[in-house]
Amino acid sequence: LSLAAVSLMLWELIACLILITKDLFEIKHYTLKRYRYEIAGAGIVSAAILFAVISLQSGYANAQAAVQKVKQNDLKSAVKYFEKAVKQDPFTASYKIDLAKLYNNLSVKEKDGKKQVVNQEQFENAEKMVQKALKLEPYNSQLYAHAASIAMGRGKIEEGLKYIDKA
């Protein structure tokens, strides 16, 4: 996505240069006032694209930090990093499904051979994240496989089987 943003910015700059130089040869008295709206508009669009690219890159960096925390078995820190990644890059479904898996792992503990919910809020958030991820990428079979794993781990066999059928 960042490569596309860079190319858009370059095209905007080329358009600004063409706009400015087009009339320079026809009119001897060039004034910046004449093109202030075009230049301001191009600047605003460029700033918006730059902000979007920075936000998406920050999301990616936080997701990578979360993966490192998972490898270090620091799941609570990993959740915080994935939450940041989801806020900064709301278009990447894999961040949401990974966050759902972490919520699920932290919210359910096995005690006396039975699984018990120890954190109801995270338990519910896991389901919300699964639904958001599947809404973003409804044809991604890997997401459905992860959703099935989460559902079956919670004892929702029928729901898990539905996800497997869609996968």
Rounded to whole angstroms, how far apart are CA atoms 142 and 32?
Answer: 54
Q: Letter for the amino acid at 48?
A: A
User: What's the start-to-end Cα distance of the chain, in Å?
Assistant: 26
CB–CB of 59/65 below 8 Å? no
Q: Between the ranges 39-48, 82-91, 147-156, where is the mean pLDDT highest?
A: 82-91
pLDDT digit string, tens, across residues 125-166: 999 999 999 999 999 999 999 999 988 888 888 988 999 888
**Residues sharing a CB contact under 8 Å with residue 109, sequence separation 6 or more, in sequence order:** 115, 116, 118
* Strongest mean pLDDT among 32-36, 54-58, 65-69, 161-165: 65-69
Q: Which helix (H) or strand (E) holds 59?
A: helix 36-71
Can you give the pLDDT at residue 63?
95
Q: Are 97 and 129 in contact (CB under 8 A)?
A: yes
What confidence score (pLDDT) does residue 108 get? 79
| Of 82-91, 102-111, 126-135, the least confident | 102-111
pLDDT of 74 reads 94
Q: What is the pTM of this model?
A: 0.74
Rg (CA), the chain: 24
Q: What is the DSSP letter of 113?
A: T
